[in-house]
Structure 1
Amino acid sequence: MAIKKQIPNLITLLNLFSGCIALVFITKSNFEWAFYFVCLGIFFDFFDGFFARLFKVSSPLGLQLDSLADMVTSGVVPGYVMFSMLNSSQNEITDNPLFAYIGFVVTLGSCYRLANFNIDTRQTDSFIGLPTPANALFILSLPLVLHTSDSLFTLEFLTNQWVLLAIVLGSAYILNAEIPLFSLKLKKFTVKDNLIQIIFLLFSFLLVLFFHFAGIPLLILFYVLLSVVNNQWIKK
C-alpha cells in the first residue's frame, strides 16, 4: 500500500524533472526540445491526479507537490521563453536589456494562480482562469511558430516588443481572470459526461494536423472561446 501511495507523487516529480530539462534546452535556444519536454511534463501532470483518484491515495502532500512541479514546468519555463523572445526582439519600445525581464511576469502570474488554485474551492471540477499548462503550451509554441514560418508578417509580429509585451501582460491576466473554463481531466468514463472534452480534443487534433505548431496557440484560444460558449449554454 505504501508503494501504491507514492506512485502519483513519483509521476508528479517526473513532471518537475521534465520542466528542469526544458529549462536546460531553453538556455541553449533549443525551443523545440523544450516544447517537447514541457508537453511530457504536462502529460505527467495530467496522470498524477488520475492515479491518485484511481488508487484513492489523494493527499495534501500530493497537492503541494503538484503545484511546485507546475511552478517550474508551466511557470518558470514559459517566463524564461518570454524573456528570451523579448531579449532578441526588435527595439520598438526600448533597447534596454533589462526590459526583457518583463517576460518573467508570466512566471509571477503563474505562481499567483497556482497558489490561489490550492485554496479556491470552486476549482474542484473546472477552472477559474486559464490553467498554467495551457498557458505554457501557448507560450512555448510562439518561438516554434516564429522559427518555422516563412511569413514576413509572422516574423514582424512575433519579434515586435509591443506584441510580446501584450502577450506577457495578457497571459498574466488570463491566468487569474474570473472566467470559468472546463477541465480536461476525465472523472467519469461516459461520452455524455465528457462531450465538451471530446469536441475540444478532436478540434485540437485537426488544428495541429493542418497548422502544425501554429495550431497550438489557436487551440488555446479555442479552449477559452469554447468554455465561454459552454458557460452561456449552461446558464440557459
Structure 2
Amino acid sequence: MKQYIPNLITLLNVFCGCVATVFAVMNQLELAALFVFLGIFFDFFDGLAARVLNVQSELGLQLDSLADVITSGLVPGIVMFQLLDMSQSGGWNAFDNATFAEGSQISILPFFGFLITMASAYRLAKFNLDENQVSSFIGLPTPANALLILSFPLILLYHNNDALNSIILNQWFLIGMTVLSAYLLNSKIALFALKFKNWSFKDNTLRYIFLIVSLALLVTMQFLAVPIIIGFYILGSVVDSSAKKKQA
C-alpha cells in the first residue's frame, strides 16, 4: 500500500496543475498562482515521501515529470500569454474564446509565451534521462521557473506601483523574460538542490543561508522578492560551484 502514497501525492500535483490551467485561461491569474503553489508543494513532498518510505520507482519519476509539465510548464506559458496580451491591450483583459470563433484578427505575439512551456517540457525530458542530477540541478528547475513567471501578475496585483507596472507590462521586458526563462531552464549552470542529507549547518551552509535570506526577503518585500530570490539562487550556485572547483 505504501508504494502508492508518493504517486497519489504526485497526482494531486496534476490536479492542481489542471485547476491552475483553467484559472490561467480565464485570466484569473491570482487563483492560477495559488494552485501552482499548491502543486509545487505536492511536487516537493512526493519525492520526500518516496525517500522516507523507500519506494522510489521509475514510474514515480516519469509521473513526476508529467505532472510538472502541466503545473510548472503549461501554466507559466499561459500566464506569459496573458501578460503579453495585456502588454498590447494595456489592461487586465479576460481571454475571450469568442475572438477565435468570430475569426477576428489575432495577435501572434502572446503565443510566444508558450516558448516557456516547450522549454520546460524539453528540460523535463532531459532530466529523466540524466542520472547525475541528484544532489544538484543542471539548469533552472521548472518549479523555480514557474514561481518566477507567476510572480509578475502577483506583483501587478499586490504592489500596484506605476513604475513596476510599466516595466512588467512592457512587451520587450516580457519577451526578454520569456527568452531568459527558456535559456535558464536548459542551461548548463549547476544549481544546488534543497535536499538535506543531514541537518548539519557545516554540510548545508549555502542551503541554510539561502532559506534565511529568502524568508527575510519574502517578509519585507512580498511577491517582489521572488525574482530577487531566483537571482540570488542562481548567483549563489555559481559562486559555490566556482569555489568547489578551486578547492578540487
The answer, yes or no, to whether TM exceeds 0.5 is yes
Cα displacement string for residues 129-183 of structure 1 (whole angstroms, at most 9, x for unaligned residues): 0000000000001011122233222121111111100000110000000000000
Query: Match of 2:99?
Result: none
1:8-47 residue pairs with structure 2 within 5 A?
8-47=6-45
The DSSP-based 3-state class of the residue aligned with 1:88 is helix
In the alignment, which of 109, 130, 143 is matched to residue 99 of structure 1?
109
Bigger Cα displacement from structure 2, 143-152 vs 119-128: 143-152
The DSSP-based 3-state class of the residue aligned with 2:36 is helix
**2:138 is aligned with 1:128:** yes
Cα displacement string for residues 191-210 of structure 1 (whole angstroms, at most 9, x for unaligned residues): 33322111111111111111
CA contact (8 A) 1:46 1:185 kept: no
In the alignment, which of 225, 231, 234 is matched to residue 241 of structure 2?
231
**AA matched with 2:6:** P
Query: Match of 1:198?
Result: 208
The DSSP-based 3-state class of the residue aligned with 1:89 is helix
Between the aligned residues of both structures, percent identity stands at 52
Query: Match of 1:56?
Result: 54
Compute the displacement of 1:188 (Å).
2.8
Write the distance in 2 (CA, Å) between the matches of 1:216 and 1:77: 17
CA contact (8 A) 1:38 1:74 kept: yes
Query: Match of 2:221?
Result: 211
Cα displacement string for residues 24-55 of structure 1 (whole angstroms, at most 9, x for unaligned residues): 22123222221121111111111111111111
The DSSP-based 3-state class of the residue aligned with 2:194 is coil
In the alignment, which of 144, 169, 181 is matched to residue 191 of structure 2?
181
Query: Match of 1:109?
Result: 119
The DSSP-based 3-state class of the residue aligned with 1:234 is helix
Query: Match of 2:95?
Result: none
CA contact (8 A) 1:91 1:161 kept: no
**AA matched with 2:150:** L
Write the distance in 1 (CA, Å) between the matches of 2:75 and 2:204: 30
**5+ residue gaps, structure 2:** 91-104
Compute the displacement of 1:91 (Å).
7.3
**AA matched with 1:105:** L
Write the distance in 2 (CA, Å) between the matches of 1:176 and 1:160: 25
Say if 1:49 and 1:187 are closer, same or farther in 2 by CA, change over 3 A. Answer: farther
**2:140 is aligned with 1:142:** no
CA contact (8 A) 1:129 1:179 kept: yes
**AA matched with 2:192:** F
Write the distance in 1 (CA, Å) between the matches of 2:77 and 2:133: 24
Bigger Cα displacement from structure 2, 156-165 vs 24-33: 24-33
